Structure 1
């Protein structure tokens, strides 16, 4: 009987120690070390038919599929983010893909060519259809390095 009670106390003590270890954790926190990456801050401007393109997602994609991205403001300006915490882009040759934010393949509604509004009565804007040559089938290229960090993309809605 004494052996059983000792065993019960040992189990309770072990359970308490494990619970305390879980609550307090390892004492460290996870902070990525970006210093080993060759990141540079990248910014630029996107226009469509000469007008600033607002609300477009701009992605600089490496051959291995990794990318940095940003969204254009009302002036068509963007700054790339490496992830949700760190700005920048890895150096090297990139394929640039530009699509309307929220659009799976960059295709929006094309504005009506005749009036000042589209078929739904919404005002025309420069955010109409972005051709596939700028997104899904992009022909846009950029080489990112310490000397090349600012880019201008002048898109045309009709080739």
Structure 2
């Protein structure tokens, strides 16, 4: 009797690298910021910074990382957050446009593990 065992693996998608890092603004950890890595073509990856400024990117809900290659990086605190009790609050943008809407930040993701710290200045 022959038995075939099939494993679960990600196939058919682009090569990904694991991406994490720390974001600071004026030397202080930047909490609750959305970090987006956007390739020239293909799906962007996103992560949200914790209280310590650390983020980890996700390509999809099930796949950590970002596409291998060059990316424009955007960091923003402008988003809506649902608070306990169902109230929705808009977070104020604390990050200058040169790091989000008009971003000058770039990163090149390689296969494997990548660490990209971003030290932002408000002025």
Which residue among 2, 26, 31 is the counterpart of 1:49? 26
Relative to structure 1, the CA distance from residue 81 to residue 75 in structure 2 (aligned partners, 3 Å threshold; closer, same or farther) is same
Runs of 4+ in 1 over 2 A off after TM superposition: 32-37
2:10 maps to 1:34: yes
**Structure 2 equivalent of residue 85 of structure 1:** 62
In the TM superposition, residue 86 of structure 1 has moved relative to its aligned partner by 1.2
Aligned partners of 1:59, 1:33: CA distance in 2, in Å? 25
Given candidates 49, 63, 79, the residue that maps to 1:72 is 49
Q: TM-score scaled by structure 2? A: 0.77
Matches within 5 A, 1:15-26: none
More helix by share: 1
Find the counterpart in structure 2 of residue 130 from structure 1. 95
Q: Hey, what does 1:98 align to over in structure 2?
A: 75
2:86 aligned partner = none
Segments of structure 1 that go 5 or more residues without pairing to the other structure are 1-31, 110-128
Which segments of 5 or more consecutive residues in structure 2 lack a partner in the other structure? 1-7, 81-90
Q: How large is the RMSD of aligned CA atoms in angstroms?
A: 2.1
More strand by share: 2
Give the TM-score normalised by structure 1. Answer: 0.60
Q: Look at both structures and tell me which one has the larger radius of gyration over its CA atoms.
A: 1
Alpha-carbon contact 1:55-1:101 (below 8 Å) kept: no
1:71–1:101 Cα contact (<8 Å) kept: no
